[in-house]
A and B are shown apart, each in its own frame.
Chain A
């Protein structure tokens, strides 16, 4: 796992809330991620890389898309924690059933074919991961993904200009007459 996508913190509430909904082997164990267990993270990284694979330009892994998803599962997306727990467990269960290996350990082509054939709840879960991967890959680097504005460089779009704080009205001037 590349150094830059590691985070030092781990949300312990996960063990209490989400684990009850998704009986995962790894739930509650120490992990470098805010939300995912190391095993789940492996699966998520593989999923994201399928969605935006590396070629002449970096893919989702190098862009740190998992950072984005992991971070926001403890923030704006926290309501989706059980969806991820359940989805990732189900995906691995399906892979073990069909191939005897977890998703992350399948060959790239095997993964692709499996994802193309998903139906029902697992397909809905994958659709969600697609949305989040697009956000993490093309969105603003400040949210944890799109590391070093990799996708904007790929598209040939200029980066956000740095203009300095004086452009923002940080003084109380703009708020004159505000709440009294």
Chain B
């Protein structure tokens, strides 16, 4: 197989952007993706089989048959889980990765989110740390992501947002009924509501149409291609250069290392399950926090007996997602208007500065709850079956609002990804083994944030409310992050400030894995910004050296 400058594993938020940046800079690139290139036809508006409700399987992969994981429960029991089952902490397996089916909130982290330890101090039992880069370092790359991938919304009424040079490229979608109920209530409470920034076209942009406002949004492939991911922006651009080859249904096995400790390429199983080797000058790992850690840990060699980047046992550590919490309220009036995506209004009043707490969360109204999803959002006092259940659904389904937010988690060293010593996937590759729990302080923040959500709903006129607070178990899921921490000290981190694995000249990790902390926000725009940031560095470092090997 022809030698290339860069092989990138994973065509999601991170890998897609690196592929485009490198290909446009003249690098020859092979982009490997374990999933397929899906279209809306492959993942139709299906309430039971999508990326959020997976009772009949994952709409955007991976399939249940070939990709098990091992989960260690809080009581120490181990179980093998399939990708559509709870506890698997799935993201996706397809071109575009999570960006094909996400809810598409496009948050920039705040300045404090990059220096959590110096702002708050580290609680006992946590590995809370500052990032080696600042918001100011990433600002131009946030902007680039907003314009190249495409973001609508208006953050100008939010006094807490970090400094920015340009407004968002698209105006917000028109407000929904929930938006109109929640906005004046937030103002009465002295809060600062605004339109959520979303990677979704509110007007035609980049040659694709505006959102048609259907209710099948988060978890689904957009039928009219108005949701912006790497699959309909940067990846087609990468391919258009002629320098990038995308190979789908290719499952990476390991990163190859030569006797001098340099990576020489990647072995993978192709769509016909044949083992292939792709050699390259540099390797970029962009498989999301769990699978990226797994690939590094599975890349054992004489020089790196415990895996690449793992000399000090930091690969796979600090797995974190977000501890979602909030409240649901019932209203006398009808709140449901069937205008998607649903989530439309947010406040950042409680991201920082909460007394006695380290960080917090953005709060927003939730995406449209499809009827089956609503079953899981009912108050604990309502009968689970029978006439009581049916009456409740009939009376309240269209009279409810849910407000929730992604609480920034305190990283825990023992919340981790390992490779399982026994269980292997379909191709014989050891699978990821997940274990650990949330830090107690994270749950303290959740209780506080849920209170704030409930107060907002009550002010908006809710006649009955109940809170939703997560359990102590591990979180990861679509927001998975932290397993290949970015840092200046090779003893306490995995990659440097440009995402290069310490002690490896030519291996980079570019995805949520490198997040030191995960912000009180959906992380995708930060993953994208880091991908642009790392790409700029890679191009600068490697431009003159290409083809040397």
**Separation of A178 and B214 alpha carbons in the complex (Å):** 29
Chain B contacts with A in 360-376, Cβ cutoff 8 A: 370-372, 374-375
Pull 23 A–B residue pairs with CB atoms less than 8 Å apart, ordered by A: A53-B387, A55-B387, A130-B385, A134-B375, A135-B56, A138-B47, A138-B372, A139-B48, A140-B47, A140-B48, A143-B48, A156-B336, A156-B398, A157-B397, A161-B214, A163-B223, A167-B40, A169-B41, A170-B39, A170-B41, A177-B244, A179-B248, A179-B249
Chain A positions 101 through 145: 1 when the CB is less than 8 Å from some CB of chain B, otherwise 0: 000000000001000000000000000001101110011101100
List chain B positions with a Cβ less than 8 A from chain A.
36-37, 39-41, 45-48, 55-57, 214, 223-225, 236, 239, 244-250, 270-271, 336, 338, 370-372, 374-375, 384-387, 389-390, 393-394, 397-398
Nearest neighbor of B41 in chain A, beta-carbon distance: A168
Residues from chain A with a CB closer than 8 A to the CB of B236 are: 176
Determine whether the beta carbon of A168 is less than 8 Å from that of B46: no
- How many Å lie between the Cα of A165 and that of B372 in the bound state? 26
Once the chains bind, are B385 and A57 in contact (CB under 8 Å)? Answer: no
- With contacts A139-B372, A177-B245 taken as known, whether A112 is within 8 angstroms of B386 at the C-beta atoms is yes
Q: Point out the residues of chain B lying under 8 angstroms from A133, CB to CB.
A: 385
Inter-chain contact count A-B, CB under 8 Å? 104
Please indicate the chain B residues that have their CB under 8 angstroms from the CB of A167 in the complex: 40, 223-224
Contacts of B338 in A (CB 8 A): 157-158
| Residues of chain A lying within 8 A (CB to CB) of residue B393 | 154-155
Measured in the bound complex, the distance between the Cα atoms of B45 and A169 in whole Å is 15
**Assuming the A-B contacts A53-B390, A134-B375, A152-B371, are A140 and B398 also in contact, with contact meaning beta carbons closer than 8 angstroms in the complex?**
no
A14-59 contacts to B (CB < 8 Å): 50-53, 55, 57, 59
Shortest Cβ gap from A79 to chain B (Å): 10
> Is residue A76 within 8 Å, beta carbon to beta carbon, of the partner chain?
yes
Complex contact B390–A135 (CB within 8 A): no
When C-beta atoms are compared, the residue in chain A nearest to B387 turns out to be: A53
Set of chain A residues within 8 Å of B370, measured between Cβ atoms:
138
The interface residues of chain A lying within 8 Å CB-to-CB of B389 are: 51-52
Note all chain B residues with C-beta closer than 8 A to A143.
Answer: 46, 48, 56
Verify B48–A177 contact, CB threshold 8 A.
no
The answer, yes or no, to whether A160 is at the interface (CB within 8 Å) is yes
* A141, closest chain B residue (CB): B47
Chain B residues, Cβ within 8 Å of A97: none
Chain A residue at minimum C-beta to C-beta distance from B39: A169
Minimum distance in angstroms from B24 CB to a CB of chain A: 15
From B45, B245, B250, B372, residue with most partner A Cβ within 10 Å = B372
A151 on interface, CB distance cutoff 8 Å: yes
Known: A157-B397, A168-B41. 18 other contacts (CB 8 A): A51-B386, A53-B386, A57-B394, A134-B375, A138-B370, A138-B375, A139-B55, A151-B371, A154-B394, A155-B394, A155-B398, A157-B336, A158-B338, A163-B223, A169-B39, A170-B39, A174-B37, A177-B245
Given contacts A57-B390, A138-B372, A163-B223, contact A168 B40 (CB under 8 A): yes
A177 and B246 within 8 A (CB):
yes
Min CB–CB distance A167 → chain B (angstroms)? 6
Minimum Cβ distance to chain A for residue B221 (Å): 10
A175 within 8 A of B: yes
Closest 7 CB pairs of A and B: A168-B41, A177-B239, A138-B371, A138-B372, A51-B385, A139-B48, A169-B39
Question: Which residue of the partner chain B has the closest CB to A133?
Answer: B385
* A147 CB to nearest B CB, Å: 15
**A179 lies within 8 A of B56 (CB):** no
Task: Tell me how far the C-beta of A121 lies from the nearest C-beta in chain B, rounded to whole angstroms.
Answer: 18
Closest to A79 in B: B82
Question: Which listed residue (A50, A142, A154) contacts B385, Cβ 8 A?
Answer: A50
B contact residues around A50 at 8 Å (CB): 385-386
Q: Tell me, yes or no, whether A93 is within 8 Å of chain B by CB.
A: no
**Quick one: which of A50-71 are within 8 Å of B by CB?**
50-53, 55, 57, 59
Asked whether, in the complex, the Cβ of A134 is within 8 Å of the Cβ of B390, the reply is no
A134 to B270, CA, bound (A): 39
CB distance from B493 to the nearest CB of A (A): 35
CA distance A76 to B57 in the complex (A): 8
A135 contacts B55, C-beta separation under 8 Å: yes
- When distances are taken between beta carbons in the complex, the residues of chain A under 8 Å from B386 are 50-51, 53, 112
Contacts of A154 in B (CB 8 A): 393-394
A142: B residues at CB distance < 8 A: 46
Docked pose: A177 CA to B214 CA in angstroms: 30
A43 to B286, CA, bound (A): 50
B245–A180 touching, CB < 8 Å: yes
Q: A72 at interface (Cβ–Cβ under 8 A)? A: yes
Residue from the set B37, B244, B390 with the largest chain A CB neighbour count within 10 Å: B390
- Collect the chain B residues with CB atoms within 8 Å of residue A158's CB: 338
A168-B398 contact given A53-B390, A140-B46, CB 8 Å threshold: no
Cα separation A175 to B384 with both chains bound (whole Å)? 45
In the complex, how many angstroms separate the beta carbon of B282 from the nearest chain A beta carbon? 21
- In the assembled complex, the CB of A141 is this many whole angstroms from the nearest CB of chain B, namely 10
Name the B residues within 8 Å of A52 (CB-CB).
385, 389-390
Q: How far is the CA of A174 from the CA of B244 in the complex (A)?
A: 16
Complex formed: what's the CA distance from A168 to B336 in Å? 28
Alpha-carbon gap, A157 to B338, bound state (A)? 7
Contacts of B394 in A (CB 8 A): 57, 154-155
How many angstroms between the C-alpha atoms of A135 and B50 in the bound complex? 13
Residue from the list A59, A138, A178 in contact with B37, Cβ < 8 A: A178
Minimum Cβ distance to chain B for residue A34 (Å)? 16
Q: CA–CA, A129 to B41, complex, Å?
A: 30
- Bound-state CA distance A174–B56 (Å) is 26
Contacts of B372 in A (CB 8 A): 134-135, 138-139
Q: Residue among A131, A133, A134, A176 with the most chain B CB within 10 A?
A: A134
In the assembled complex, which residues on chain A have CB atoms less than 8 Å from the CB atom of B248? 178-179
CA A177 to CA B36, docked complex, whole Å: 12
Partner of B48, one of A135, A152, A169, A170: A135
Residue of B214, B224, B247, B390 near A55 (CB, 8 A) is B390
